[in-house]
């Protein structure tokens, strides 16, 4: 009789997402043969999914949902192996269920959502014959004097949640403020900022940009003081690419997002702050 170790049980569980005791029993029944144990679990309908190294889950969809009062929003990315399956009604319904579950429970961890949705996940894997997985989710509960907007772009290839706060509650009802929030959602979808403000950019990312510039042909043989002065401009350009508030406005590139926010503050007579955003792109990090 082969030794049924905790490590062996855990490996089978990671492979199938079946329960620990189910994995242990399957390994006992097969004398520690993992492949045979996988077969038993699948036959019993206990294996939610079997990871297949030759077929990655890169297709799928991103969708969003909100409560009726708009006080909370959720967004989720669900992956599968082929675009054909991603376009089926069954897969779309499962992806929508994942998003609603994230909205109702506030859970965003894929493992936690998978545990809550074990039966539906098992069913969709069985129906499609593909490796369906919940990749990630986000949940925003609305702050005081804030609006949240969701935006799904390219038929579910890109998804955005953004929250914007005002100083006064009456500002939320103004057309100028609503337009700003909508424009910001479009901006994030189109321009793919990685950070909200420059203070969020990791020091190593900035140093990496500087190092690339220092080693470029452009600065070879140049005095150090000239190079260092030029690097300030390079870092600012980097910020304009990766930080939302520094980006050129996609509708009017001569304006930055900071300029657009200031224009809305002038129109509403109120202080406005972009508080947070999240952007999902299908299959991207």
Helix H or strand E encompassing 124? helix 118-128
Composition of the chain by helix, strand, coil, percent to 5: 50, 20, 30
Kindly give the pairing relationship between strand 248-249 and strand 252-256.
Answer: antiparallel
Question: How open is the CA angle 173-174-176, to the nearest 5 degrees?
Answer: 140
Listed ranges 30-39, 123-132, 133-142; the one with the highest mean pLDDT? 133-142
Encode pLDDT of 14-67 as tens digits. 777 777 888 888 899 999 888 888 878 776 665 555 554 445 678 999 999 999
pLDDT score recorded for residue 216: 81
Global pTM? 0.80
Tell me the three-class secondary structure of 190-238, residue by residue. HHCCCECCHHHCCHHHHHHHHHHHHCCHHHCCCCHHHHHHHHHHHHHHH
Structural domains of the chain, with CATH: 6-43 (1.10.8.10), 53-141 (3.30.479.20), 143-201+243-285 (3.30.479.20)
pLDDT of amino acid 221: 84
Helix (H, G, I), strand (E, B) or coil at 274: strand
The length of the chain in residues reads 285
The DSSP result for 33-45, as a single string, is: -HHHHHHHHHHTT
pLDDT at 168: 97
Q: What is the pLDDT of residues 193-246, one digit of tens each?
A: 999 999 999 999 999 889 888 888 888 888 888 888 899 999 999 999 999 999
Q: Which of 40-44, 112-116, 168-172, 238-242 has the lowest mean pLDDT?
A: 40-44
């Amino acid at each position: 009789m082969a030794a049924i170790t905790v490590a062996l049980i855990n490996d089978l569980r990671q492979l199938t997402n079946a329960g620990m005791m189910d994995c242990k029993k399957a390994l006992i029944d097969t004398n520690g043969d993992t492949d045979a144990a996988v077969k038993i679990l699948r036959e019993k309908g206990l294996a939610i999914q079997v990871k297949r190294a030759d077929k990655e889950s890169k297709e799928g969809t991103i969708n969003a949902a909100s409560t009726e009062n708009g006080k909370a929003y959720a967004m989720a990315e669900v992956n599968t192996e082929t675009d054909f399956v991603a376009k089926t009604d069954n897969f779309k319904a499962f992806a929508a269920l994942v998003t609603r579950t994230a909205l109702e429970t506030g859970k965003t961890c894929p493992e936690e959502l998978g545990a809550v949705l074990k039966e539906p996940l098992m069913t969709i894997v069985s129906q499609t014959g593909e490796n369906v997985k919940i990749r990630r989710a986000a949940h925003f509960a609305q702050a005081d004097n804030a609006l949240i907007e969701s935006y799904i772009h390219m038929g579910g290839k890109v998804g955005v949640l953004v929250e914007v706060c005002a100083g006064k509650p009456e500002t939320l009802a103004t057309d100028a403020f609503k337009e700003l929030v909508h424009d910001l959602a479009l901006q994030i979808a189109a321009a793919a900022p990685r950070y909200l403000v420059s203070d969020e950019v990791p020091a190593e990312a900035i140093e990496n940009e500087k190092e690339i510039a220092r080693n470029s042909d452009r600065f070879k043989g140049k005095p150090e003081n000239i190079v260092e002065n030029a690097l300030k401009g390079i870092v600012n350009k980097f910020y304009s690419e990766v930080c939302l508030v520094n980006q050129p406005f996609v509708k009017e590139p001569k304006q930055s997002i900071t300029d657009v926010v200031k224009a809305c503050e002038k129109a509403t007579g109120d202080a406005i702050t972009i508080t947070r955003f999240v952007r999902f792109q299908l299959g991207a990090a």
